[in-house]
Amino acid sequence: MKYGRIVGWGKYAPARVLTNDDLARMVDTSDEWIVARTGIRRRHMAGEGETTATMSVEASRAALARAGLLPQDLDLIILATTSPDYFVPPASSMVQDMLGAKCGAFQLQAGCTGFVYGLATAQAFISTGLHKNILVIGTETISRNVDWQDRETCVLFGDGAGAVVVQACDEPTGVLSFVLGSDGSGAQHLRVGIGAREVITPEVIAGGGHFLRMNGREVFKFATHVMGHAAAEAISQAGMTLSDVDLLIPHQANLRIIELAARHLGLPMDKVFVNIQEYGNTSAASIPIALVEAIEQGRCKEGDTLCLVGFGAGLTWAAAVVRWGVSERPFAMSLFAPIARARTQAGVTLRTAQTVAGMQVTMARHQLQKRAGKAVEVAKSAASAALLPLYTRVDKWHTRDKRE
């Protein structure tokens, strides 16, 4: 079985920052009110010319550079987002073109859990041997679908992008297990009310149907229930216990939800990564941005076990257990690994030599046949020339006899 190891990572956050004090000048709220209920202090907002596609490209270029790969090395691009540039075409194809990649690409929509869904999808492709290098991106430009007069939602969301390169390897590392779930009975609690069912009309826009709407109380209840359960299930599927987890990287939606999930799991907060104060809720970009920052801050070390867990619109949930880096081989495997590599290289060298020798034999045979053919033709010509006088005399005798 092949494992999907994360070999490259990158993030992008727009330069424009919107603080809680900025929001207090726009809507009836305050820094104290927002921090007490969410833990958020600021969020990044996409500027002019910045879109889901452009931010995805910036994060992806960083991930590819870290992996030491070119866009042409990619076999697949998976972009998780709920805020694509257009309904059609998918932002994934725009990202593929902007990167200069020559591979398939598709857009995945599973709310805030989209990145973990994408990571699980990449692992499925890799484990079957279909692909070797897959780019998984989580990007959102939610600020453009927020009602800035609705303090229940406008204080929560921000924009940004995170990306990882997942590469096939033989070591038991990378994505070890994942859990995906959905409960559509709660779909109405977090939605943007436009699409094929409710098309955009002046009446829909006047009523604010194109804005993101959320039933905060119901989403909070759902999240606090499902986050801990999903993480525990993924850890169990990996054949581990909670004591094996070195760092929990949750979806950054609300600090109180994160704290309750950690308490449910029995994890101290020093084993939980939190950056919600800087970015707010960036939906599908939340977990990859947090992962990249955890790496940059030295919170992920070689051999560490990470648990990524989130919840989102749908309502959906997802969790994945990731072993960071390549786990150490047992002593015996380490001892014989050079021999195995030498044997593999010798096999390649032998097959190459056999191929070259075979080509040389074939070419020599063709040359010999060509020379033999020429020799036969020369002999035929010489024989014909030697016999020509005899043919001439015989012909003359035959003609004379017929006349007589």
Percent of the residues in the chain that have a pLDDT greater than 70, as a whole number: 83
- In this predicted structure, which of 66-80, 96-110, 323-337 has the lowest mean pLDDT? 323-337
Q: Which tokens is 83 given?
A: 């805020």
Residue 323 pLDDT: 93
Place of tokens 């330069």: 15
Which one of 44, 112, 154, 254 is the catalytic residue? Answer: 112
Cα angle: 96, vertex 100, 102; to 5 degrees: 70
Which one of 20, 133, 254, 281 is the catalytic residue? Answer: 281
Give tens-digit pLDDT for 351-379.
334 434 544 554 566 567 667 767 777 77
Q: Can you name the residues that pair with 178 across neighbouring β-strands? A: 320
Give tens-digit pLDDT for 201-243.
888 787 787 778 888 788 888 888 898 999 999 999 999 999 9
Which runs of consecutive H residues, i.e. helices, occur in 25-113? 31-38, 52-67, 91-99
Asked if 281 is an active-site residue, the reply is yes
Q: Which tokens is 77 given?
A: 């691009």
Does residue 332 surpass a pLDDT of 60?
no
Does residue 71 surpass a pLDDT of 60?
yes
Residue 205 pLDDT: 81
- Calculate mean pLDDT across residues 27-53: 94
Q: Can you name the residues that pair with 79 across neighbouring β-strands? A: 107, 137
- In this predicted structure, which of 33-42, 130-139, 269-278, 349-358 has the lowest mean pLDDT? 349-358
**Which of 143-147, 161-165, 328-332 has maximum average pLDDT?**
161-165
Query: From CA 176, how far away is CA 25, in angstroms rounded?
Result: 47
- In this predicted structure, which of 171-175, 202-206, 250-254, 333-337 has the lowest mean pLDDT? 333-337
Residue 400 pLDDT: 67
Which one of 189, 251, 254, 307 is the catalytic residue? Answer: 251
Does residue 80 surpass a pLDDT of 50?
yes
Asked if 133 is an active-site residue, the reply is no
Q: How confident is the model at residue 330 (pLDDT cuts 50, 70, 90)?
A: very low
